[in-house]
């Protein structure tokens, strides 16, 4: 979040931002109403969710394999679930209200039991 605004004499000429990609510190995950839940046992690592994610919120390891979802930035649009070829088995949506205060294991159970 924006802390203190810069003074006029602290702003760089041309409103240059020296720190590339610093919007990462702004967490858009708070916008979410529904969250995608990932089931690693069913995932075939096709990476379609990664290529279609508008918010770069599919976490990837050094081998280019999916390792989870970045809930700090995911806006919950649901494109990943829609494009997942496993049809709601590897990725599915769950209301944030139903996920509140639960552990990852419980959330997964809740989401895939429906």
Q: List residues binding other proteins (CB under 8 A).
A: 2, 6, 15, 17, 19-28, 31-32, 45-48, 50-58, 60, 62-66, 70, 73, 75-79, 81-83
CB 112, min distance to other proteins, A: 18
Closest by CA to 46, choosing from 34, 56, 58, is: 58
- Give 81 or 108: the residue with its C-beta nearer to other proteins: 81
CB 105, min distance to other proteins, A: 25
Residue 95's DSSP bridge partners are: 34
- Give 103 or 114: the residue with its C-beta nearer to other proteins: 114
Closest by CA to 91, choosing from 32, 35, 51, is: 35
Residues whose CB is less than 8 angstroms from the CB of residue 37 and which lie 6 or more positions away in sequence, other chains included: 69, 91, 92, 93, 94, 99, 107, 108, 111, 112
CB 103, min distance to other proteins, A: 24
């Amino acid at each position: 979040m924006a802390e203190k605004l810069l003074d006029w004499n602290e702003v760089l000429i041309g409103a240059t931002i020296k720190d590339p990609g610093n919007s990462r510190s702004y967490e858009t995950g708070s916008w979410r109403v529904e969250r995608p839940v990932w089931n690693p046992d069913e995932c075939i690592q096709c990476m379609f969710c990664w290529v279609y994610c508008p918010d770069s919120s599919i976490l990837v390891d050094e081998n280019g394999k999916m390792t989870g979802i970045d809930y700090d930035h995911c806006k919950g649009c649901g494109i990943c679930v829609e494009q997942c070829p496993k049809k709601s088995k590897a990725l599915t949506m769950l209301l944030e209200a139903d996920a509140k205060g639960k552990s990852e294991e419980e959330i997964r159970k809740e989401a895939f039991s429906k």
